[in-house]
Amino acid sequence: DTAVSQTPKYLVTQMGNDKSIKCEQNLGHDTMYWYKQDSKKFLKIMFSYNNKELIINETVPNRFSPKSPDKAHLNLHINSLELGDSAVYFCASSQDNRALETQYFGPGTRLLVL
């Protein structure tokens, strides 16, 4: 009964390819997020959705496109992958969009671009 799950756990691909990462939460939360953690463990928010509506869109290349088909899912599609995209991508969710809410993280997707 994993709360926030991501697939795949590992993703190795060539430069220029297009790939997707999927995220699902079974907590009944309204808000979901994508974070990127680089090799130095720095964690930076990329996107957040509240009730399927995009509310945070940080300075992320247009090659990254999130999609939320419903409140329980937030997928991340990456076009034309580059070496610098190699990182761990975390999905998270929270009950709602209020600042005091706890975020629950998935186990991460380790992306390696060759």
Partner 1 sequence: AQSVTQPDIHITVSEGASLELRCNYSYGATPYLFWYVQSPGQGLQLLLKYFSGDTLVQGIKGFEAEFKRSQSSFNLRKPSVHWSDAAEYFCAVNSGGYQKVTFGTGTKLQVIP
Binding site for partner 1 (CB under 8 A): 4, 31, 33, 40-45, 48, 55-56, 90, 92, 94, 97-108
Q: Angle CA(70)–CA(43)–CA(83) in degrees, nearest 5?
A: 90
Nearer CB in complex with partner 1: 31/75: 31
Q: CB of 100: closest distance to partner 1 in angstroms?
A: 4
CB of 56 closer than 8 Å to CB of 45 = yes
Q: What does the block give as tokens for 75? A: 């997928």
Q: How far apart are CA 25 and CA 39, in angstroms?
A: 26
Nearer CB in complex with partner 1: 64/90: 90
Nearer CB in complex with partner 1: 18/102: 102
Q: CB of 105: closest distance to partner 1 in angstroms?
A: 3
Q: CB of 28: closest distance to partner 1 in angstroms?
A: 16
Nearer CB in complex with partner 1: 78/92: 92
Rounding to the nearest 10 degrees, give the CA dihedral for residues 30, 64, 111, 39. Answer: -90
Q: How far apart are CA 89 and CA 46, in angstroms?
A: 10
